[in-house]
Amino acid sequence: AAALHPSVKAALIDVPFLTHFRRAVEITGKDPYQELVRFLSTRRDSADQVFRTLSYFDGLNFAARGQVPALYSVALMDDICPPSTVFAAYNHWQGPKEISVWPWNGHEGGGGFQSEEQLRYLHKLLSEV
């Protein structure tokens, strides 16, 4: 959403969900991605159509439109938002960006520590204005 509205000044994007569907389906055994696997296991000829439809709201494609400064976070043990899908969205972001990497966390990401990172990031960003 931060990539779509012109009045947004910054984006705080924590362990983004529903990014790079095809990759997520290939590497995680968690739902909702496994729902797609179950669906496609009986409709093998529908894969192209399924992934084309999902591309309309894939966070990866929205990230490519992002122009404002962004702070991402990724948890390297997250099996709900696999790290490679987060890095894909981060790499597609067009504006200035930073990423906090939480090597020992799952889907909870950095939790309160990430909140502190966000406050520092916004303070630094807004102090420059």
For residue 53, being part of any structural domain is answered with: no
pLDDT at 129: 67
Query: Domain span at residue 120?
Result: 11-20+59-127
Q: What is the rounded (10 degree) CA torsion for 36, 45, 55, 53?
A: -90
pLDDT at 2: 87
Domain count, the chain: 1
For residue 45, being part of any structural domain is answered with: no
Mean pLDDT by 10 residues, the chain (129 residues): 89 95 94 95 96 95 95 97 97 97 96 97 90
For residue 118, being part of any structural domain is answered with: yes
For residue 82, being part of any structural domain is answered with: yes
For residue 112, being part of any structural domain is answered with: yes
For residue 65, being part of any structural domain is answered with: yes
For residue 6, being part of any structural domain is answered with: no
The single-letter DSSP state of residue 67 is: -
Complete edge-to-edge strand list for the sheet that includes strand 11-14:
11-14, 70-75, 97-102
Sequence-distant (≥ 6) Cβ neighbours of residue 9 within 8 angstroms:
68, 69, 125
pLDDT at 29: 93
- CB atoms near residue 80 (< 10 Å): 16
For residue 113, being part of any structural domain is answered with: yes
